[in-house]
C-alpha cells in the first residue's frame, strides 16, 4: 500500500520528469497539449483580472 508521503513523492518526481503537467490551481494532466491549454487559460484569466484592477491574495489594494 502506498502512503500519502510516497504518493506525494511520486507526483513530485513525475512533475520533475515532465510526465505530468500541473497548473497553479492543481489541475494535473499527462497530456502536454492539455497542460499548455491550462497554462494559457490561466494566463488569460490572470491578465483579465489585472485589467479589472483585481489583486492577488496578500497584495494590498492601492
pLDDT score of 62: 58
Say how far apart CA 43 and CA 37 lie, in whole Å: 10
Say how far apart CA 49 and CA 4 lie, in whole Å: 35
State if pTM tops 0.75. no
Coil, helix or strand at residue 1 = coil
For the chain, give the longest Cα–Cα distance: 51
Examine the pLDDT at 35 and tell me if it is beyond 60. yes
Examine the pLDDT at 3 and tell me if it is beyond 80. yes
Locate all alpha helices (DSSP H) within 1-62, ordered by sequence: 4-17, 32-51
Location of C-alpha cell 503537467 = 21
Examine the pLDDT at 56 and tell me if it is beyond 70. no
Examine the pLDDT at 1 and tell me if it is beyond 60. yes
Amino acid at each position: 500500500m502506498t502512503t500519502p508521503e510516497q504518493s506525494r513523492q511520486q507526483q513530485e518526481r513525475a512533475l520533475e520528469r515532465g510526465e505530468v503537467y500541473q497548473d497553479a490551481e492543481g489541475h494535473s494532466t499527462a497530456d502536454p497539449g492539455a497542460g499548455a491549454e491550462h497554462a494559457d487559460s490561466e494566463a488569460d484569466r490572470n491578465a483579465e483580472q489585472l485589467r479589472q484592477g483585481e489583486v492577488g491574495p496578500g497584495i494590498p489594494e492601492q
